[in-house]
Structure formats: C-alpha cells, structure tokens
Amino acid sequence: MAATSHSLVEQQSRTAEFILDQGMPLDGTEREMLVFSGTSNPSLAAEICQHLDMRQGGALVSTFKNEETRVRIEENVRGADVFVVQSTSSPVDHHIMELLLMIDALRRASARRVTAVIPYYGYAKQEKKLAGREPISAKLVANLIHTAGADRIVAIDLHAPAIEGFFDIPVDHLRANPIMARWVQEHLAGSDLAIVSPDSGGVARANDFRLRVGGQLAIVAKQRPQPDVAEVLEMVGDVRGRTAVIVDDMISTGGTLIEAAEMLRSRGATQVIACATHGIFAGDAVDQIDRSCISRVVTTNTIPLAAGVHSEKIIQVSMAPLLAEAIRRIHHHHSVSALFT
C-alpha cells in the first residue's frame, strides 16, 4: 500500500512539473504575458503589442561607452510568459548579443517561459559547410540561443528548413507567402501571371505562391561561383506576355534578382515584380534596384529599412498581425500550424 501511495505521489509530481514547464500554473489561471523588444526592430514590436492590445514590457537595452551591450529588465517578470522580439539583422552580431543577454536577464529574473521571436534569423545562409575547415554558423547561433535560456523559438521563413532541427527546443516556423500573395491578389488582379523561382531550391516556395494567386510556374537556374555572387544560367517556363513575379525568401545584394529580372524581360515578360520576405538590401542594393527593370519589390517588415533609405519601388507589408496571432496562440496553448491550414 505504501509503495502504491509513493508511486501516486511521484506521478502527481511529474504531472505538476509538466504543467509548469508548459507555462500553466497549478491553479488553472493563465500566467501573465509580456512582450519585450531589443533595438533591431522596435517598430515591429510596438505594432505586435498594438495588435495584442497590450503595452510593451519595459527594458533598458543600450551600449556602454566601452561598446559592451547593456541590458536591464525594468519590471517584474517572475512567473510570466515572456516573448522577446528581436530580428538578428545588421549589425548582426550586436543584435544577437542583445537577444542572448535579454534572454539571460529574463531567466535570472525568474520568468516562467521565454520565447525568442526572431522575425529574421541571421547566419541562416551558413547552414552547411561548403568547404573544409568552415563552421556551421547557423547551428552555433541556435546553440547560443538555447544555452542562454530560450524555451521556444518563433521565426519567419528560415533560409533553410533544416535550421529548425538545429534547435533542441520547439520552433514555430511561420511563412510570409500568404501575406505577400494577398498583396499580389489586391494589386495585380486580372493580370496574367508567371510565378518565378530564382533557383531550384525555391521551387516549393514559388509553387505554393502560385497556388495562392494562380498563373504559370517558371524556374531560373543559377550557380554561385563565390559567396554573394550568382550567375544566371537558364530559365524553364514561359513568361511571354505575362507579369513575372519572382518569389524568394530574402534580397541581400540584389544582384541575382536583377539578373533574373533582365532575363525575364528578355524572354517577353511585360513587367517584373519581386516578392521576398526579408529585405536585407546590403551595400548599394537599393540604388541598383532603383536603376533596374524591376517595377516593384514587395518585402515584409521583418527587417526595417535602414535610416535614410527610400525607394518608391520598395513596398513593405507588415508581419505584425501574423506574429501577434502566433504569440497569442502560444500563450493560450493553441495550435500555431492552424494559421496556415
């Protein structure tokens, strides 16, 4: 009898630990939800809080005179369900350090659960070794975030789906295709479309986009002789007399995009629109796009445009409604994948 009682106590203890790990208190009430932001994309964080109808958590995130990052959480987070919004965009290393220090500060302040909301995941293109004696940087960053104390990750359009497996914690991988496809449906209604993948690795993404907006599928073949340099080789598909919509996950230097656009116009496309989730726009990418034959570039606000950068060709659509709904569902323990069904 004593053994049975002891076994029952152990089972109840394990159940209680599981409930607490999920962020649910034993009394059945929900933990407080708080959203904090680093300095990489404060406008997106503010918009997310607006959609959630809540104020943003107070935090001091700055830099000491010796260039070390300074973080201080300015309110009580004990037992709370906390979300940290931080794109690891340029300056990438600085924003990663901010994220790590914020997670550590929240952990040390006894937050019940910390979810890192990373709209743009830096180092995502370094997800494999291309030569000997190279790091797998995307995996290392995942290890750092986990070690800092994150319990969960929310990301948008990771460059390689395999990055999800780099984490030993749950990852909610959101997609921007539905939001950008809605823009195309609203602004190019009635157009004869050709949805173009800029490389063979993006065919699934482009085909998903095509199923949402209609049109034909085309594929541009390319190779990379060295990093950030791409050579367009050939194209499969017919774009003559159609509006070509290039669908990609990111625009960095813009070189590949512009070469693909020139090929599409030479093959008879009436105009070229680009849709890419992450607008990195490294170097003089914006100036090159302004001088190119591309009519519009539709991107999202996972990365804010750099100060002083302006182009009438670039249109940003907001990911805040999707991120806010994902945060709400995670907090209430509802399905996130149902957002895409």
Active site residues: 222
Query: Coil, strand or helix: which one is 102?
Result: helix
CA distance 230 to 89: 22
- Strand-strand pairing, 59-63 and 69-73: antiparallel
Which residues lie closer than 8 Å to 270 by C-beta, 6 or more apart?
Answer: 241, 242, 243
Residue 58, Cβ density class (10 Å: 0-12 exposed, 13-18 middle, ≥19 buried): exposed
Q: What radius of gyration, in Å, describes the C-alpha atoms of the chain? A: 22
Which residues lie closer than 8 Å to 165 by C-beta, 6 or more apart?
Answer: none
H/E segment holding residue 139? helix 137-148
Q: Are 206 and 195 in contact (CB under 8 A)?
A: yes
